[in-house]
Amino acid sequence: MEAPQQIEPQSLADYLAVMSKAVFHSGMSWKVVEAKWPDIMEAMRNFDPVAIAFLSEKELDELAQDRRVIRNRRKLAAIVKNARAMRELEEEHGSFQAYLRSHSDYNATEKDLRKRFGFLGETGVYYFLYVVGEDVPPYEEWCASRGRTPHT
């Protein structure tokens, strides 16, 4: 398996988009998510954190019927919750990157992300942190620490 492309986040929307991709990947074929990603970006307002954080229940219901997205209402609701949490953490720490770097190590960061954000398992956290350019253990080491065989 090829490593995902890393980015240098320019805004909270970049962080929310990467995290949301991890949310959509949860339990889904990564190929399906990748194929739908341009349509998902459009339907999800390019992951503008303010627009997403303030989606009403009616708008969320409409989004759950939109064929451009993966129509899992629980995941969509988690993305709204995640946008709200990101905005709060950005305000509290001065930037979302500062929040991510406020932890003592990878394991502490993973634990806090999984506690605060919906639909982020250990693989989703690793993916998210790797893509946004944060320090993560080498993939093979990370897999070994969890008793997993690396995907190749």
Query: How much is the average pLDDT of 104-125?
Result: 96
- pLDDT exceeds cutoff 80 at 98: yes
Burial environment of residue 12 by CB neighbours within 10 A (0 to 12, 13 to 18, 19 or more): buried
Query: How much is the average pLDDT of 1-9?
Result: 88
Q: Tell me, what's the pLDDT at 51? A: 97
Calpha distance 6→127 (Å, rounded): 10
Query: How much is the average pLDDT of 119-139?
Result: 96
Q: What residues does each domain of the chain span?
A: 12-145
Would you state the CATH architecture of domain 12-145?
A: Orthogonal Bundle (1.10)
Calpha distance 80→23 (Å, rounded): 11
- E strand or H helix that includes residue 16: helix 12-25
pLDDT in tens, 16-35: 999 999 999 998 988 999 99
